[in-house]
Structure 1
Amino acid sequence: MKPFILASQSPRRKQLLEQAGLSFSIIPSSIEETVPNHYSPEETVALLAYQKAADVLKDHRDSVVLGADTIVSLDGTILGKPANDEDARAKLHLLSGRTHQVLTGVAILSSEKEVTFTAQAQVSFYSLSDEEIDNYIRSGEPSDKAGAYGIQGLGATFVEKVEGDYFAIVGLPIAKVSRALKSFN
């Protein structure tokens, strides 16, 4: 059996792979994330996942490498990680009372095989008050999260409804990943 590598430092992805009973090592990708401006959110997240896995695979050709990326999209516009508190506030105001899409792209690569896919969910937020947003920003949680929130933390209190793969929102659609890995033995 080939060594299995997660090309990410995400604690959430690590936890989900452990939860699935998988043995793996972590070697984060060091690529600079670049995507053509005309790419759709689906194309963007799939390309970023592929770039991360390919970056690690080039130095570990005897392994199976998993790369993943998660984005938040509102009306086709990608809301990345906030640059600062003001940016987080602006993103949360945009999401307040609306439904947005969360997509996770996954690429599983070896020297013999490639599998890529995306998983998604629709997330509806309650209307958020300025006080709720300010308190959330003070918690520090939004600083490194796509769309300025984490559903597995305090951000869960903003969510009215989820449709689709919850684990795509957390950062890794683990059931789909587990099934795809079977084809790599």
Structure 2
Amino acid sequence: MAHLILASSSPRRKALLQQLGLNFDIFSPDIDERVLDNETAMAYVARLAQQKAQAVWQKFPEATIIAADTTLAVDSEIIGKPESKSDAFAIWAKISGRCHEVLTGICVMNAVTQYVDVVQTKVEFQVLSPKDMEDYWATGEPLGKAGGYAIQGIAAQFIPQIMGSYSNVVGLPLQQTAALLKAIKVLN
């Protein structure tokens, strides 16, 4: 089997990829994650996944690289990770009581081939009260999470339903990732 590298330091992506029974190393690239002018959420996550994969492949050209990037979108606005408590509260106010989209760009590449896919999941978020927000912020869970929440954690209580891939909302859509790994001949 080819040397496989996950281009991410996310413990959630690592745990999800381990569910596929693969042996892999981890190398997290440092790339510029700023949104380009007029860039859609779909184009943004696809571009970042490709850039992460290419940055790691430059260092390990014999390897097969798996890279992903996840973001939220509300009314075509890209919502990233909160940088502060006030930022988290502003994000939660935008998604409170409505549906938003979670998009993950995936790139699987080696020296010969590159596959890119974007997976979209709709997430319904309940109305959060100021107390809900204060209590959730106090847990520390929102830090470093796209949209300021973790569906696999405490925030599950705020999500009445999702339409699409659960693992996508966690950070790596497993069915689609497995399909790309099969296409590149890493999985049978």
Q: Percent identity?
A: 39
Give the structure 2 partner of residue 74 of structure 1. 74
* Distance in 2 (alpha carbons) for counterparts of 1:38 and 1:174: 29
Q: Could you tell me how far 1:167 is from its partner in structure 2?
A: 1.1
Give the structure 2 partner of residue 39 of structure 1. 39
Identify unmatched segments of 5+ residues in structure 1: none
Q: Could you tell me how far 1:183 is from its partner in structure 2?
A: 2.2
CA offsets per residue over residues 139-171 of structure 1, 9 Å max, x none?
011111111111111111110110011111110
- After superposition, the CA RMSD in angstroms is 0.9
8 Å Cα contact 1:97/1:125 also seen in 2: yes
Q: Could you tell me how far 1:34 is from its partner in structure 2?
A: 3.7
Q: Could you tell me how far 1:112 is from its partner in structure 2?
A: 0.3
Identify unmatched segments of 5+ residues in structure 2: none
Give the structure 1 partner of residue 166 of structure 2. 166
Aligned residue runs from structure 1 range 53-132, under 5 A: 53-132=53-132
CA offsets per residue over residues 30-54 of structure 1, 9 Å max, x none?
1222442211110001000000000
* Distance in 1 (alpha carbons) for counterparts of 2:116 and 2:59: 20
Give the structure 1 partner of residue 178 of structure 2. 178
8 Å Cα contact 1:85/1:143 also seen in 2: no
Residues paired across the two proteins, number? 185
Moved over 2 A (4+): none
Per the normalisation by structure 2, the TM-score is 0.96
Amino acid aligned to 1:50: Q
Amino acid aligned to 1:103: L
Amino acid aligned to 2:36: P
Per the normalisation by structure 1, the TM-score is 0.97
